[in-house]
Amino acid sequence: MENLSNIGVIRDLLARHGFRFSKALGQNFLVNPTVCPRMAEQGGAGPGVGVIEIGAGVGVLTAELARRADRVVCVEIDGRLLPVLAETLAGFQNVEIVNADVMKVDLRALIAEKLGGLRVVVCANLPYYITSPIVMGLLEQRLPIESVTVMVQKEAAQRLCALPGTREAGAVSCAVRYYSEPKVLFPVSRGSFLPSPDVDSAVIRLDIRREPPVDPGDEKTFFRVVRAAFSMRRKTLLNCLSAGLPLPKERAAALLERAGVPAGARAEQLTLEQFAAVSRALAEEP
Ligand code: SAM
């Protein structure tokens, strides 16, 4: 079916199927014809590639992915969209819709079963109510994927892609940077969606690293340190680590000294390498 990003076509399609948007499921469908082709291209859909999509909507991005990639598997939670998608994607033999909650699906098994032998990328216009759990889940599971190209709220894009050591950085930015090389690809205005959300969006791409960029010693300790460091935004690192790990203040101070990190620093001033140094020093504690 043509013109899946045309607002009149979508309204007509959804009316015929008696479909009503669910706010709770983050259903804002793309109606800007330039966005999906760009996402599919820059997300790496092409020959030899299998794509995992999350949330098909009426299949506007799914179709662009299917035109370029060998196979597309899309996880969509809303069963009411299945008859709509059966109509809009009828021309594609290389698409499969899995009617499930992406937070409950075994993505590793799904990839092995349905995309075996292909290079795999994730490309999706994410439901905004679970952006971070989805992105972090994709990264932490260490799935056999090359990249994650997703539309997220503009603020989430800035947070996910912020460089550790800069003011915008938080615990999530550190984790994203540890697992991937993130990049903001392009902005998308709120008017590009039906219904229009209250905020603008951006498409980001996370290129998955084969090796972590730093040696944290023990990974669990590294993430404990990062979480504790960012737990109280206006406090010093010394106070955050002492309260969050938890550790007596003198031990936290000695730890930072061994790691070569100033006790008065704030979490957002630390590079990933400095977090790794604190993590190694903590792991070596007697
Ligand atoms: N890809 C379409 C587009 O660009 O127009 C739809 C994007 S819309 C922002 C998000 C989609 O994710 C909706 O179709 C919604 O039903 C689906 N969704 C919401 N929560 C989900 C979940 N937990 N698992 C899978 N799909 C979900």
pTM over 0.90: yes
| Dist. CA 134–CA 138, nearest whole Å | 6
What CATH number labels 219-283? 1.10.8.100
Residue 103 Cα: closest atom of ligand 1: 23
Phi, psi of 120 (to 5 degrees): -115, 135
Cα–ligand 1 centroid distance for 157 (angstroms): 18
- Same topology between domain 7-208 and domain 219-283: no
CB neighbourhood size of 175 (10 A)? 22
Element (H, E) at 149: strand 147-153
Per-residue pLDDT reduced to its tens digit, 152-210: 999 999 999 999 999 999 999 999 999 999 999 999 999 999 999 999 999 999 999 99
Q: Would you state the CATH architecture of domain 7-208?
A: 3-Layer(aba) Sandwich (3.40)
Question: For residue 284, what pLDDT is reported?
Answer: 87
Reply yes or no on whether the pLDDT at 2 is more than 70: no
Q: Does the C-beta of 97 come closer than 6 Å to ligand 1? A: no
User: Structural domain boundaries of the chain?
Assistant: 7-208, 219-283
| Dist. CA 28–CA 55, nearest whole Å | 10
Per-residue pLDDT reduced to its tens digit, 23-73: 999 999 999 999 999 999 999 999 999 999 999 999 999 999 999 999 999
Tell me the ipTM for this assembly.
0.99
Per-residue pLDDT reduced to its tens digit, 217-248: 999 999 999 999 999 988 999 999 999 999 99
Distances (CA, A) of 170 to 159, 217, 271: 7, 21, 11
Nearest residue CA, atom 8 of ligand 1?
A: 27
Partner residues linked to 98 by β-bridges:
75
